[in-house]
């Protein structure tokens, strides 16, 4: 049986070709229509059980995945590390194998360690979807971001996207760069030098340290969250103060109006209002932040649907 | 062996015309009727029927929709190629209507089952009938039978029926293709 997607798992954007991404988008178009119906549910995954394993906190992504699974009629079990046996010292493989022995077919996992999904895919027999692994990747976020750009501007190819902020700690930035580049967009990373990883120059993107320059260049600005919980050691070590950060890299109305053209504003959430973006911009007509959230469900339905399509229906030995 | 032509252009036109008259004979006034074409190939027949019905009856606002069944299929994980969804365009409730589901070829009946399932999301119709251009008899895997049939075809396993349309393929005709070797 051939895989619908050419990959068994979704661990990172590199698992997908540009054609795969296009297939995800076209399938998501179908699901957007389903989500506009009075009954927002289809039976495609009714014989599939999905475990959502969140070893790290999440609101949006967990709810988005759970809604996507439920609207595909999958059976869903949820797990969050704060209430689980990992606190008692169980290893990741043991935890997951125990869950799989209860006949789970797919695992959606968020974990604080980069590569946790890849590691798991080598040791357990289930389809793994990475919902964020440390500072590494967050592929479904990148897919829904690119999908939202495609929806807003009609295309991704040739669009200039500036990703602004805490690039160093951002899995969203890395996945977005890989995904947008595959689709032919031009990407610029913008942030303070201390929040720009050394590998950035190898990604084939422009790099800027001046927000106004990035804003003048781009068609779309994706304002990343300052990841306060990941800043070095005891608090914030990569920039002097939030106030200074907001002054130099925060997007406010005055700065937006100075660009002299309309650009699309995105944010992967959760927003630190008044830090990377002010409320008057985040809630303005240029912002597609809530469309991103809405599209997230359709895109995740498409990913689940397509990965399930490539799964062997035979019971595992 | 070459493909056998089951319906050529003139007979094709007559068949579509007859299906329209049968529907009018059966339903009388089309006010309570909703025509729903199944994506991707059934909509071509449905669009043609709608045009013809408007011409014959003069009723301009016959309820018409197009339904995609991809997410309701029972075989999506058995298919060699990925099923890509087509657009559903159904902006009315089917509650209390006489729905006529329209598809080009009725074979195993599985698409129609999926169509019935998909239709439930749009309300509870008074009745659902099935209209097809070609009914491949003796190949059903589910207890589903059509109410309006253009042409019955008795074929063997491995043969394939293709319906071609002026709009997409240049001419109207129905072909019975031999067993692929």
Contacts B70 to A, Cβ<8 Å: 30
**Element containing residue B81 per DSSP (H, E):** none
Percent of chain A residues past pLDDT 70, beyond the cut: 93
* Residue spans per domain, chain B: 10-158
- How many angstroms separate the CA of residue B63 from the nearest CA in chain A? 18
The span from the CA of A13 to the CA of A173, in Å, is 12
**CATH code for the domain defined by B10-158:** 3.40.50.2020
What is the pLDDT confidence band of residue A242, given thresholds at 50, 70 and 90? confident
Residue (of B136, B167, B146) closest to B6 by Cα position: B136
Residue (of A31, A97, A100) closest to A68 by Cα position: A31
Do the Cβ atoms of A126 and A187 come closer than 8 Å? no
Is it the case that residue B128 has pLDDT exceeding 70? yes
Task: Quote ipTM for the complex.
Answer: 0.71
8 Å CB contact of B77 and A308: yes
Chain A / chain B CB contacts < 8 angstroms = 59
Is it the case that residue B25 has pLDDT exceeding 90? yes
Q: What pLDDT shows up at residue A181? A: 97
Please enumerate residues of A whose Cβ is less than 8 A from a Cβ of B. Answer: 1-2, 4-5, 23, 26-27, 29-31, 33-34, 37-39, 41-44, 72, 305-306, 308-309, 311, 313
A56 shares a domain with A28: yes
Is it the case that residue A314 has pLDDT exceeding 50? no
How far is C-alpha A158 from the chain's CA centre? 21
Four-point Cα dihedral B25, B27, B29, B32, nearest 10:
-160
Pairing state of beta strands A106-111 and A75-80?
unpaired
What is the pLDDT confidence band of residue B2, given thresholds at 50, 70 and 90? confident
Contacts B86 to A, Cβ<8 Å: 30
Is it the case that residue A71 has pLDDT exceeding 90? yes
A132 shares a domain with A44: yes
Percent of chain A residues past pLDDT 90, beyond the cut: 70
Number of residues that make up chain A: 317
Number of residues that make up chain B: 181
Is it the case that residue A171 has pLDDT exceeding 90? yes
What are phi and psi for residue B33, nearest 5 degrees? -95, 140
Q: Is B81 on the interface with A (CB under 8 A)?
A: yes
Search chain B and give the residue with CA nearest A5.
B82
- How many angstroms separate the CA of residue A259 from the nearest CA in chain B? 38
Average pLDDT estimate for B12-26: 95
A281 shares a domain with A300: no
Q: What digits encode the pLDDT tens for the residues A96-111?
A: 888 888 889 999 999 9
What is the pLDDT confidence band of residue A4, given thresholds at 50, 70 and 90? low
A221 shares a domain with A96: no
**Element containing residue B27 per DSSP (H, E):** helix B9-27
A154 shares a domain with A253: yes
Is it the case that residue A84 has pLDDT exceeding 70? no
Out of A37, A59, A87, A88, the active site residue is A88
Search chain A and give the residue with CA nearest B86.
A30
A163 shares a domain with A266: yes
The span from the CA of A259 to the CA of A282, in Å, is 16
A261 shares a domain with A189: yes
Is it the case that residue A315 has pLDDT exceeding 70? no
A221 shares a domain with A98: no
Do the Cβ atoms of A263 and A222 come closer than 8 Å? no
A126 shares a domain with A187: no
In a domain, A221, yes or no: yes
What CATH number has the domain bearing residue A234? Answer: 3.40.50.1370
Q: What digits encode the pLDDT tens for the residues A116-162?
A: 999 999 988 889 999 999 999 999 999 999 999 999 999 999 999 99
Is it the case that residue B52 has pLDDT exceeding 70? yes
The span from the CA of B56 to the CA of B61, in Å, is 13
Q: Is B71 on the interface with A (CB under 8 A)?
A: yes
Q: What pLDDT shows up at residue A255? A: 95
A250 shares a domain with A240: yes
Question: For chain A, first and last CA: distance in Å?
Answer: 18
In a domain, A8, yes or no: no
Total domains, chain A: 2
Q: Is B120 on the interface with A (CB under 8 A)?
A: yes
Out of A49, A61, A95, A278, the active site residue is A61
A213 shares a domain with A105: no
* Residue A302 lies in domain: 13-137+294-309
Q: What pLDDT shows up at residue A180? A: 97
Contacts A44 to B, Cβ<8 Å: 71-73, 76
Is-catalytic flag, A88? yes
Please identify which residue in the block is written with the tokens 């699974």: A69
Q: What digits encode the pLDDT tens for the residues A57-70?
A: 888 899 999 999 99
Residues facing residue B36 across a β-bridge: B65, B101
Is it the case that residue A230 has pLDDT exceeding 70? yes
The span from the CA of A44 to the CA of A30, in Å, is 13
8 Å CB contact of A313 and B86: no
Q: Which residues contact A83 (CB under 8 A, 6 or more apart)?
A: none
A162 shares a domain with A101: no
Pairing state of beta strands A220-223 and A264-266?
parallel
Q: Which residues contact B24 (CB under 8 A, 6 or more apart)?
A: B30, B53, B56, B57
Out of B76, B78, B84, whose CB is closest to A44? B76
Q: Is B121 on the interface with A (CB under 8 A)?
A: yes
Q: What pLDDT shows up at residue A149? A: 98
3-state secondary structure A19-37: HHHHHHHHHHHHHHHHHCC
Do the Cβ atoms of A266 and A148 come closer than 8 Å? yes
Both tokens assigned to B13: 């036109």
Average pLDDT, chain B: 90
Concatenated DSSP letters of chain A: ---SSS-S-BSSGGG--HHHHHHHHHHHHHHHHHHTSSS----TTTT-EEEEEESS--SHHHHHHHHHHHHTT-EEEEEEGGGSGGGGT--HHHHHHHHHTTT--EEEEEESSTTHHHHHHHHSSSEEEEEEETTTB-HHHHHHHHHHHHHHHS--TT-EEEEES--TT-HHHHHHHHHHHHTT-EEEEE--GGGS-GGGGGGT-EEES-HHHHHHH-SEEEEPPP-GGGSSSSS--SSS-HHHHHHHH-B-HHHHHHH-S--EEE--S---BTTTB-HHHHTSTTB-HHHHHHHHHHHHHHHHHHHHHTS--SPP-
Q: What pLDDT shows up at residue B134? A: 94
Is it the case that residue A90 has pLDDT exceeding 90? no
Q: What pLDDT shows up at residue B81? A: 59
């Amino acid at each position: 049986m051939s895989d619908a997607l050419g990959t068994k798992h979704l661990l990172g954007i590199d698992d997908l070709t540009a054609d795969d991404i296009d297939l995800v988008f076209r399938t998501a178009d179908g699901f957007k229509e389903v989500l506009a119906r009075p009954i927002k549910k289809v039976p495609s995954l009714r014989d599939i059980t999905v475990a959502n394993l969140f070893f790290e906190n999440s609101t949006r992504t967990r709810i988005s995945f759970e809604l996507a699974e439920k609207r595909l009629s999958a059976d869903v079990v949820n797990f969050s590390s704060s209430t689980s046996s990992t606190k008692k010292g169980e290893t990741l493989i043991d935890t997951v194998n125990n869950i799989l022995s209860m006949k789970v077919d797919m695992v959606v996992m968020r974990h604080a360690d980069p590569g946790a999904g890849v590691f798991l895919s080598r040791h357990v027999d289930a389809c793994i979807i990475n919902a964020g692994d440390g500072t590494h990747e967050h592929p479904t976020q990148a897919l829904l971001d690119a999908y939202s750009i495609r929806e807003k501007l009609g295309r991704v190819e040739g669009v200039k996207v500036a990703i602004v902020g805490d690039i160093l700690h951002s899995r969203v930035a890395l996945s977005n760069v890989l995904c947008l580049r595959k689709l032919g967009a031009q990407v610029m990373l913008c942030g303070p030098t201390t929040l720009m990883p050394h590998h950035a120059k190898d990604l084939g993107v422009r790099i800027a340290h001046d927000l106004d320059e990035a804003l003048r260049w781009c068609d779309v600005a994706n304002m990343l969250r300052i990841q306060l919980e990941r800043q070095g050691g005891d608090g914030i070590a990569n920039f002097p103060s939030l106030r200074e950060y907001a002054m130099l890299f925060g997007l406010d109305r005055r700065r937006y109006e100075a660009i002299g053209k309309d650009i699309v504003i995105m944010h992967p959430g959760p927003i630190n209002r008044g830090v990377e973006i002010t409320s008057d911009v985040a809630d303005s007509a240029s912002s597609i932040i809530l469309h991103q959230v809405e599209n997230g469900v359709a895109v995740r339905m498409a990913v689940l649907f397509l990965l399930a399509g490539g799964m062997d229906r035979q019971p595992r030995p | 062996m070459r493909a056998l032509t089951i319906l050529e252009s003139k007979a094709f036109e007559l068949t579509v015309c007859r299906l329209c008259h049968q529907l009018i004979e059966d339903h009388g006034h089309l006010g309570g009727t909703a025509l729903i074409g199944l994506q991707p190939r059934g909509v071509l027949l449905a669009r043609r029927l709608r045009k013809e019905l408007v011409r014959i009856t003069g009723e301009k606002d016959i309820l018409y929709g197009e339904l995609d069944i991809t997410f309701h299929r029972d075989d999506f994980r058995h298919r060699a190629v990925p099923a890509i969804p087509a657009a559903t365009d159904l902006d009315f409730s089917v509650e209390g209507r006489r729905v006529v589901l329209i598809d080009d070829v009725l074979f195993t009946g599985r698409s129609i089952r999926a169509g019935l399932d998909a239709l439930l999301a749009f309300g509870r119709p008074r009745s659902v009938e099935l209209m097809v251009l070609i009914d491949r008899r003796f190949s059903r895997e589910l207890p589903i039978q059509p109410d309006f049939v253009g042409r019955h075809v008795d074929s063997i396993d491995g043969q394939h029926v293709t319906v071609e349309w002026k709009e997409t393929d240049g001419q109207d005709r129905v072909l019975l293709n031999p067993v692929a070797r």
